[in-house]
Amino acid sequence: MKRKRNKVRVGDIAPDFTLPDQGGKPVWLRDLLGHKTVVLYFYPKDETPGCVLEARAFRDSYEEFTAQGAEVVGVSSDSVRSHRRFTERHALPFLLLSDRDGAVRELYGVERTLGLVPGRVTYVIDKAGVVRQVYSSQLLATRHSREALSVLATLAERPT
């Protein structure tokens, strides 16, 4: 029996990883942290209806994310080529990372819905690498960006 990995939760240090972006360039989470808060969202598949809505919601709010010192990063098991087409077709201004073997999804403990569909989970990770929010909803795809923006506003209100 395969031992199940624990889920990453609020207060945990976000596990580091390296994955290729839509241009094939390797991206390390640790290189993004320290400079910005990272909104890391896992989604099932490029060009599926819910994933298009979710990506467009992040795109349409992207200026709000950057104004609050955050970078949006999407992750799915689609190929670099698929991500490149998805980015171009929907004018996505943020990184999409290719987790072909699902290792990073497993590292974060993102479960499958009904055991079949890869889960849809968003993590807000502060500059120190601490997970400040985990939002999981397969069906409310567009709510992921709103939830993340709400947490960013709360983090900005805290004294440093």
Catalytic residues: 51
Q: How far apart are CA 22 and CA 33, in angstroms?
A: 20
CA angle (56 as vertex; 61, 142 as ends), nearest 5 = 80
User: Residue 132, CB half-sphere, CA atoms under 13 Å: how many?
Assistant: 21
Q: Which residue, among 144, 39, 42, has the nearest Cα to 94 in the 3D structure?
A: 39
Residue 97's Cα: distance from chain center in Å?
9
**DSSP-assigned letters across all residues of 92-107:** --SEEEE-TT-HHHHH
